[in-house]
Structure 1
Amino acid sequence: MVKQQFGLTSEDTEIKVGQTPKTAIWKKNKAVVWYYPAKERKFEVPLFLIYSLVSKPYILDLSHNSSMIQAFTKNGYDVYLLDFGVAGYEDKDLTLDDYISKYIKKAVQHTLRHSKANEITVVGYCLGGTLATIYAAVADEPIKNLILFVTPVDFQQLPLTASWRNMLKEERGTIEKIIDHYGIIPPTFIDKGIKLATSPLPIKPYLALLEHADNTQYVDRWKRFQKWTSDHVPFVGATLKQLIFDLALDNKLVNNELLINKTRVNLKNINANLLVVSTTDDDLVPEELTVSIMELVSSRDKTYQLEKGGHATLAIKGRLPKSLDDWLSERSIS
């Protein structure tokens, strides 16, 4: 009924998103690095954005005036976005090691070369922030600033009982066989999993829509956002196994036990200027999954901020919070 009343039909799949002008500067397999030039470049240090492996990154460029990328370019930053693309069955054996060393590392190198910059700011959003954290701990490239938005790091804080954790560990062989059977996890499974994790939240957007039904700008943004929330991508099986067992259950990232290409990921190796941002109403990645990183890095310049909003609020505001703009502008000149 609600979907019909507000025109949420199959035609909404044609809603245009990601319209900020961009150019591809590097491609590998399904991945692309997109370059978004500043409206008027004011800062020497470019931004390199890493988004999640679960959803498509256009949430960072949802629409005119609802785009984090556009906000950055308007404020004078050159922006580069690593879009991992849509994995196929042939990608089922890609691991975290591959994503860090063959994709993120190579993409940063090409970004530095393209921008002719001496340093870079790495920005991670959600699971992309987890990848950014791992990369920053093993990187040889000159990372001046590391910014993490709503990023899961300390998986010990997941709301799993001891019995659930033990059961998952005991059934590891069965779980791995199921994942191997699929090779990559279909988007519908990802969608159901997220809805289950955030239940009963899926009804809240429709209640908000009814409340703002006479606001055409709100309804338009709502449609775009709902398109994104259901536009998940397949999840690579080999990487999913590492996330479940190495990160979620064994918490190897926080415990400095994670290995990437046989190199130990020690968070003490991170000494870039660090900004960590959580939001007050994030039911997907509450701040207790994030804040622990502040005590685990070697960064002397580190700031933690709690902003009002939900998991994707900062991505679609269309402007940078003043605290973020002030922090970043002071640290974006080589």
Structure 2
Amino acid sequence: MKKRKKDNEEGSSVSKLQLAFEALKNPLPKMGVTRREPVWKKNKAILWYYPPEEKKYGVPVFFVYSLINQPVILDLGPGSSLIEHFVNEGFEVYLLDFGPPGYEDGDISLETYIVNYIQTGVRRALRHSGAKEITIFGVCLGGTLAAMYASMAEEPIKNLILSTPPIDFSHSPEMDQWAEALRKGDASFDEILDVIQTVPGFLVNRGLSLLLSPIHFSSYLSLLTKADDREYVAKWRRFNKWTNGHVPFAGAAVKQMLNDLVRDNKFLKGHLLIKNKKALLTNIKANLLVVAGKDDALIPETMVKPVMELVSSQDKMYRLLKGGHTTINITPHFPDYLAEWLPERSAPIGN
């Protein structure tokens, strides 16, 4: 009896292993399927507009995503798309896709991204929508950029949402040794960045894989366990494609991030300059919602929460959610933390 049970378990394992291999060979499920149209382009960047079937709010949402990943994670697939949920709720949505920088873009700094891309993109979105105010939604490093922009913006930002943004770089456990070496002057990447101009995507991917190797490996175990669940496999393949699809990183932006943020923590300390103007967190007065993930191995809560004490926002909320760095926003419906906070602050039409 015990032998038969063991044979069945082994047969099941082999079957799932075969299914997992077959799944990896099949065509990739479609990603980024929510209807959209381009409204502005600059260099490699595109500002996408996602129109709702029925517009229910007067304040549009403007997404700023990270510089090292593709923003398709925000529109991963049907039922797993944060942008789709926003559109279904009746929000006008804009997404700034920075695009992959080439060798010729090595001089693009964080400052350039903030002023020439984000600020200009927000102005285009306001003009396109005809709205009087806007919600800025920054995710990951895009949240850092969104906070920097909001700290010097002239545009009417009504709401600022920051999801897992690294703000306090003195609390980065995975980068402690590098940060300490940078602070002491024992390490510098400036010269090599001046030569290569742009960090290739595969090096960005390799670096993050080294930081998160146990988590990276465990995802394949998850696929093996649920290889007979077609819906799960499709979602896993989309997510895996995004995870391994890092884009290049402009050299000047990497230098500024390593020196001004990781080494000197200038943004938190109020010493960061953007176009010769101090980017002060105290300048942020918009309604503020900050989110961190309990299981976030990349950006721990200690890097996120300090922003709450430094802004001037009267209406502000901090949420520590169950989930990892990206999974907190991959839900089958409009996330509860947003549904409870954003609609009433977005000028509902008809109210």
TM-score category by the smaller chain?
over 0.9
Structure with larger Rg: 2
**What are the residue-to-residue correspondences of 1:251-330 with 2, within 5 Å?**
251-330=265-344
Aligned 8 A contact 2:19 2:228 in 1: no
Judged with a 3 Å threshold, the aligned counterparts in structure 2 of structure 1 residues 8 and 167 are, in CA distance, closer, same or farther, namely same
For 1:200, the equivalent position in structure 2 comes to 214
For 2:149, the equivalent position in structure 1 comes to 135
How far 1:2 moved relative to its partner?
7.8
Q: 2:32 aligns with which of 18, 22, 34?
A: 18
For 1:144, the equivalent position in structure 2 comes to 158
Distance 1:23 1:221 in 2: 24
How far 1:163 moved relative to its partner?
6.3
Distance 2:112 2:257 in 1: 14
For 1:70, the equivalent position in structure 2 comes to 84
How far 1:317 moved relative to its partner?
1.4
For 1:35, the equivalent position in structure 2 comes to 49
For 1:8, the equivalent position in structure 2 comes to 24
Q: What letter is aligned with 1:5?
A: F
Distance 1:113 1:30 in 2: 21
Aligned 8 A contact 1:185 1:235 in 2: yes
1:183 aligns with 2:197: yes
Distance 1:323 1:32 in 2: 29
Aligned 8 A contact 2:172 2:300 in 1: no
Aligned 8 A contact 2:181 2:187 in 1: no
How far 1:168 moved relative to its partner?
2.2
Judged with a 3 Å threshold, the aligned counterparts in structure 2 of structure 1 residues 287 and 163 are, in CA distance, closer, same or farther, namely closer
Which shows bigger deviation, 312-321 or 134-143? 312-321
How far 1:4 moved relative to its partner?
6.3
Aligned 8 A contact 1:127 1:151 in 2: yes
For 2:129, the equivalent position in structure 1 comes to 115
Aligned 8 A contact 2:23 2:233 in 1: no
How far 1:312 moved relative to its partner?
1.0
1:226 aligns with 2:240: yes
How far 1:160 moved relative to its partner?
6.3
Judged with a 3 Å threshold, the aligned counterparts in structure 2 of structure 1 residues 255 and 174 are, in CA distance, closer, same or farther, namely closer
Aligned 8 A contact 2:179 2:262 in 1: no
C-alpha distance after superposition, 1:274-301 (max 9, x if no partner)? 0001111111111111000000000000
Judged with a 3 Å threshold, the aligned counterparts in structure 2 of structure 1 residues 324 and 215 are, in CA distance, closer, same or farther, namely same
Judged with a 3 Å threshold, the aligned counterparts in structure 2 of structure 1 residues 18 and 241 are, in CA distance, closer, same or farther, namely same
For 2:95, the equivalent position in structure 1 comes to 81
* Structure 2: 5+ residue stretches without partners: 1-16
Aligned 8 A contact 2:281 2:311 in 1: yes
Which shows bigger deviation, 138-147 or 303-312? 303-312
Distance 1:263 1:42 in 2: 37
Aligned 8 A contact 1:2 1:206 in 2: no
Alignment length, in residue pairs? 332
Q: Give the root-mean-square deviation of aligned CA atoms.
A: 1.8
* Secondary structure class of the residue paired with 1:138: coil
For 1:237, the equivalent position in structure 2 comes to 251
Aligned 8 A contact 1:70 1:318 in 2: no
Q: 1:99 aligns with which of 87, 109, 113?
A: 113
Q: What percentage of aligned pairs have identical amino acids?
A: 47
Distance 2:141 2:313 in 1: 21
Distance 2:281 2:216 in 1: 35
